[in-house]
Amino acid sequence: MTGTIRPSDVYRARRRIQPWIRPTPLIASTALSAIAKSDVFLKLEHLQITGSFKLRGATNAVLSLSDTQSRAGVVAVSTGNHGRSLAHAATRVGMRCAICMSNLVPDNKVEAIRALGADVRIIGHSQDEAQKEVERLVAAEGMVMLPPFDHPDIISGQGTLALEILEEQPALDTVLVPVSGGGLISGVAMVLKAANPNIRVIGISMERGAAMVASRRAGRPVEVEELESLADSLGGGIGIGNQYTFAMVGEFVDDLITVSETEIAAAIRHIYWTERQIVEGAGSVGVAALLSGRVRDAGTVVTILSGGNIDMELHNQLIGAEGVTYCAVGRQWDDAHA
């Protein structure tokens, strides 16, 4: 299956989506460079329109539909950022868009998607349950399902992020990529390895419910229990019938590592106070890996800050004045899991 997506698809995706997305800055972090004994750069993709990289894949997928498909409209299951991006991309071109999600998705994300004009449907406790409603809409109303990660046009769209990184910093040694279903890291790693096979691509997930890590360990896609996490955008399975991302991660990704809730909380706090950015949990896992010493002496490192759509009440709690606040919030969840 991996043969069906190529770097040339990513170049085509880039030309297609270029008028609709924003190139995002790459900035050096002196603080993280010192801590990790590396040259660390942050890819500020949380500044993307809609607040995450998912606009890249969603826009590429919407613009790749036939006229007949475009008239029927698109439907997706989403933990938030895919839904938000798809709603934005579809609404821009006047296309109908229904978004299905589980009740674990935070309210700020639900409202943001509704405000974009999408028909939001909240079903069940997991992404897999919400997926059943998508299948119903496809069968009953002929809508086109666009999944959040396991689709060639989505993966190619996400891969455009790597083209930007290579232009901004060609002398790369290591790239840290947040991983959930693996659409982002599949596209990014394929492009990076084609440019230079010596670039190390490391995927980062949260300890609580890392489906790709469990699947790689099992040697096949497996289900994991969905748990609440500060990195809520990394929740959900990779799909038992996974067609693309599991194999692509196996082919292109050097290592998968996990970080704890306490480490994610510390990273959100560091990114705010030291880097002066507001980034959600999922977007902070690479920084968590650097701060905790899991990645060090890694040469020129780029870590992708993949999204910024965090509930601001939670963010406010995490950056709180008392030095121990972040530990309290993170540890609560680490302890519940121990």
Ligand X SMILES: *Cc1c(COP(=O)(O)O)cnc(C)c1O
Q: Cβ closer to ligand X: 7 or 83?
A: 83
43, 54, 109, 193: which one is catalytic? Answer: 54
Q: Which of 299, 332, 338, 308 is closest to 39 using CA atoms?
A: 299
Residues 6 or more apart in contact with residue 3 via CB below 8 angstroms: none
Q: Cβ closer to ligand X: 177 or 266?
A: 177
**Is 43 one of the catalytic residues?**
no
- Helix extents (H) in 64-126: 67-72, 81-92, 107-115
**Contact between residue 10 and residue 187 where contact means Cβ atoms under 8 Å apart:** yes
Q: Which of residues 223-282 bind ligand X (CB under 6 A)?
A: 233-234, 280, 282
Minimum CB–partner distance for residue 34 and ligand X (Å): 26
Size of the site for ligand X (CB under 6 A): 20
* Number of Cα atoms under 13 Å in the Cβ half of residue 79: 27
**Is 78 one of the catalytic residues?**
no
Minimum CB–partner distance for residue 170 and ligand X (Å): 24
Strands (E), the chain: 26-28, 39-43, 74-77, 97-101, 119-122, 144-145, 174-178, 200-206, 255-259, 300-304
Query: Which neighbouring-strand residues pair with 257?
Result: 204
For residue 200, what are its two tokens? Answer: 């190390």
Q: Cβ closer to ligand X: 65 or 176?
A: 176
Q: Cβ closer to ligand X: 7 or 39?
A: 7
Q: Which of residues 134-193 bind ligand X (CB under 6 A)?
A: 148-149, 178-185
Place of tokens 């290592």: 255
Binding mask 280-319 for ligand X (x = CB under 6 A): x-xx----------------------xx------------
How far apart CA 7 and CA 283 sit, in angstroms, is 24
Q: Is the dihedral angle over the CA atoms 265, 78, 156, 50 positive or is it negative?
A: negative
Q: Which of residues 82-111 bind ligand X (CB under 6 A)?
A: none
Binding mask 201-220 for ligand X (x = CB under 6 A): --------------------
Binding mask 39-58 for ligand X (x = CB under 6 A): -------------x-x----
Write the CA distances from 225 to 214, 240, 282, 293, integer angstroms.
11, 13, 18, 28
Q: Cβ closer to ligand X: 77 or 98?
A: 77
Q: Taking CB positions, which residue lies at the least distance from ligand X?
A: 307
Active-site positions? Answer: 54, 306
User: Which residues bind to ligand X, rule: CB under 6 A?
Assistant: 52, 54, 81, 148-149, 178-185, 233-234, 280, 282-283, 306-307
